[in-house]
Amino acid sequence: MAILELQNLKKYYATHKAVDDISFSIPEGSIFGLLGPNGAGKTTLLRMITGIFYPDSGEILFEGKKFNPVDDIAKIGYMPEERGLYKKMKIGEQALYLAMLKGMSKRDAMKKIKEWFVKFEMESWWNKKVNDLSKGMGQKLQFVTTVLHDPKLLILDEPFSGLDPVNSNLIKDEIFKLAQKGTTIIFSTHRMEQVEEICNNIVLVNNGKKILDGSVKQVKDEFKEHIFKVGFDKLPGSFSSTAFDIVASNENSYSVKIKDGNKPANVLQEFLNQKASIISFNEVLPSLNEIFIKVAGTKN
C-alpha cells in the first residue's frame, strides 16, 4: 500500500513553475529517493507534503485519505534543508518543546528523549545550550528531534549536507534501523550517488516535472546499455568480434558492448576462444547520475 500518493500536483510561482503536474506514489516501508538538481522543485514538493504550502491544484493522499496538515503532521518527521535550532535554549528543553509541538505528551516525550540521548551518548548535554555544541553535536541533536515522535513518514531534505563522515554513518545506520521497523523514509537530494545504495525506489524530477520513477533496479535495467567489464590476468590483444565491440580498454580490462542478438555467454566464449585468462566478468550498470544526465538531456 502507498503511504503517500501525489496526484497531479502543481505549484506555480510568479516567475516559474516550481512543481508542474507531478504524480507518484511512495510504498509504505520503502526508502524513497526524491532526486533532481538544485532548483528542480524538490523542496517545494516536500513543503506541500509537510503541509507548509498548499498546492495550486492536485491532490495529496496520506494513508489513502486526503492529506490533512493539521492532523497528519504528527505522523510526519521533517528535517528541512534549511535547518537549525534555538541557539540560546537549553538542549533538553528544546527537544521537549519540539516533541510536544508534534503532539506528544510531556511524559512520552521525556521518555523518548532519554532513550535517544542515551543511544547517541548525549545524556550530559541536557542543560547545555546549542551555542555550546560543536557542529557535529548539533547535527545529531537535529536528527534526534526529527525522529522523537516516531513518525510513520520521515522526510529528510539533503540530510548529509554538512555532515562529517562519522555522523553521516551514524545517521545512515539509524535510518536503516527505522526502515526495518517499518518507517517510510523520503530522501531528497541532488547528490544522486549518495542514495543509490540506500534507496529502493526513486523519482527523478527536473524543472518542476517528473522525468522518471520506479525501483532503482527497474530504472537501471531500463537504461542499461549492455556493457560488460571483463578483467584479465594479462590483457589479450585486441580483436574484432561478431558478438561485441570493445568500447574502452584499461591496463587489464576491456569494457565491451554486446551486439544485438547476443548474450553475455557469447562474449565469454569468444574471449575463451582467444585463450585469454579471465579473472572477472560483470555488467556495468549506469549510475543514477548518468541516467539523469541522459534523460534530462533528451527531455530538454
Partner 1 sequence: MNKIWLVIKREYLTRVRNRTFILSTILLPLFFIGFIFASAYFSIKSTEKQKVAVSDSNGIFRNSFQNGDLITYEYPSDVNANNFKDKGYSAFLQIPQHYNSGVDSISLISTKQLGIDAEDKIKDQINDAIRNQAFLKNNIDKKVLDSINKLNEDQSYKFRTVVKQGNKTEKSNAALSYGIGYGSGFLIYITLFIYGAAVMRGVMEEKMNRIAEVIISSVRPFQLMMGKILGIAAVGITQLLIWIVLIVLLSSVSTSFISADTLQHAQAINNGMGAAGDSSAAMSFLNAKSTFLSANWALIIPCFLFYFLGGYLFYASLFAAVGSVVNEDPQEAQSLMLPITMPIILSFIIMTTAVGKPDAPISVWASIIPFSSPIVMMGRIPSGNVPVWQLIVSMLSLIAGFILTTMLAAKIYRTGILLYGKKVTFKEMGKWLFRR
The DSSP-derived string for 173-217 is HHHHHHHHTT-EEEEEES-HHHHHTT-SEEEEEETTEEEEEEEHH
Q: Are 34 and 205 in contact (CB under 8 A)?
A: yes
- Residues in the interface with partner 1 (CB under 8 A) total 30
Q: What is residue 72's three-state secondary structure?
A: helix
Q: Rounded to the nearest whole angstrom, what is the least distance from the CB of residue 1 to partner 1 in the complex?
A: 24
Strand order in the sheet with 201-206: 76-79, 153-157, 184-189, 31-35, 201-206, 209-215
220 sits near partner 1 (criterion: CB under 8 A): no
Whose Cβ is closer to partner 1: residue 145's or residue 189's?
145
Binding-site member from 85, 91, 175, 219 for partner 1 (CB under 8 A): 85
Cα gap 168→180, rounded to integer Å: 18
* Interactions with partner 1, residue window 54-73 (CB under 8 A): 54, 56, 69-70, 73
CA distance 253 to 231: 4
Binding mask 103-142 for partner 1 (x = CB under 8 A): x--------------------------------------x
With binding defined as CB under 8 A, does residue 87 bind partner 1? yes
Applying CB under 8 A, the span of 49-57, 166-174, 212-220, 251-259 interacting with partner 1 comes to 49-57
Query: Which residue stretches of 73-231 are H helix?
Result: 91-101, 106-119, 135-147, 165-180, 192-196, 216-223
Among 89, 137, 179, 198, binds partner 1 (CB under 8 A): 89
Is the CB of 106 or the CB of 217 nearer to partner 1? 106
CA–CA separation, 56 and 78 (whole Å): 22
Does residue 97 belong to the site contacting partner 1 (CB under 8 A)? Answer: yes
Interaction site with partner 1 (CB under 8 A): 14, 47, 50-52, 54, 56, 69-70, 73, 76, 78-80, 82-89, 97-98, 100-103, 142, 145
